[in-house]
A and B are shown apart, each in its own frame.
Chain A
Amino acid sequence: MNENSYFNPEDMRAQCDAAINNLEEDNRANGIIEEKIMKFITEHTLDGKAFEAAKQQMLDYVAVLHAMKLANEADIADFRYLKLMSIGSEIDGNFILSEKEDALSERKINGEKVEKYRNKAQKEQSMLIR
């Protein structure tokens, strides 16, 4: 953590949701493209080298589409995980680090005061006994 660290679970969850939605939408679109390509390949059974090459090209695009879908799947899973981690209250690095420093120095001052008054009290007591 440093002064620039900032974590707002509520905002994070909302951002995760938005990202997941976008990626899912993206994968739906990829799915439709894939369907169309496969339909084209199966419906058009033309012979010949040129068509074979075109067909392979389309199959290669489908392979790439699958990889894109997998990338989205991986990110969706990661956003879900991040969302799961985003609980509790806001954490502001700047605030926490300076407050920590303040608490430490306050404690030091108070500690010194304890020492001071304890010594004073002891002195007064010993004077009283005498």
Chain B
Amino acid sequence: MMDAIRLLPIVGVMLWMLPLFWSATAGNVEPVRTSTAITYVFGVWILLIFIGLGLWSMLTGTIEIGGSDEDEQRGSTETQ
């Protein structure tokens, strides 16, 4: 599941860069409506937030990341 945390931003970039193709097709097709654009961009946003939230609740305590200042002080006195 760690890989999910690493991959999420890449998914985000891909989805949010999709509008690049909208402007490319603007010439022959009817331009994308702003309401559609709003729905799409905010939809992706909410999706990413929920995945992030889900990953956080699933992986809390299992992944290795640094602690707080207090942990650090305790740790440093122990090791010295």
A and B: bona fide binding partners = no
Q: Which residues in B have some Cβ–Cβ distance to A below 8 Å?
A: none
